Amino acid sequence: MAEEQSKKKPLMERLKHTYRMVIMNNETFEEIGSYRLTLLNVYIVLSMLVVVGSMIVLSLVVFTPLKRMIPGYGDVNLREELIALNEEVDSLGQKLQAEVSYSEALRRRLSGEVEKA
């Protein structure tokens, strides 16, 4: 009968029911601490710990190089390779521009066009 009554209590009433947690020394049975708790308090504290922990982990991933370890974000070696390839493309672009100006100047000389300074 008592079990049926506890099941019929509203959720908020069950969450606000007060419990006492006593911490005792196992050898001397001396009381070290005593705390009054409710299920609601425990739920709030655990929820806050989960939220704060999630925020810390998310901050570590977003604001540190740790994000490169996430699959699909990018390989660490790939970034270095991309930088080297970008420098090589720039170098080849400069060489191409020099070759184009050289060939244009050679064409003008061979065709007899006069360069105006």
pLDDT tens-digit series, residues 29-62:
899 999 999 999 999 999 999 999 999 999 999 8
Q: Using one digit for the tens of pLDDT, what is the confidence trace for 67-116?
A: 877 877 767 678 888 999 999 999 999 999 999 999 999 998 898 887 66
pTM to 2 decimals? Answer: 0.53
The whole-angstrom separation of Cα 50 and Cα 42 is: 12
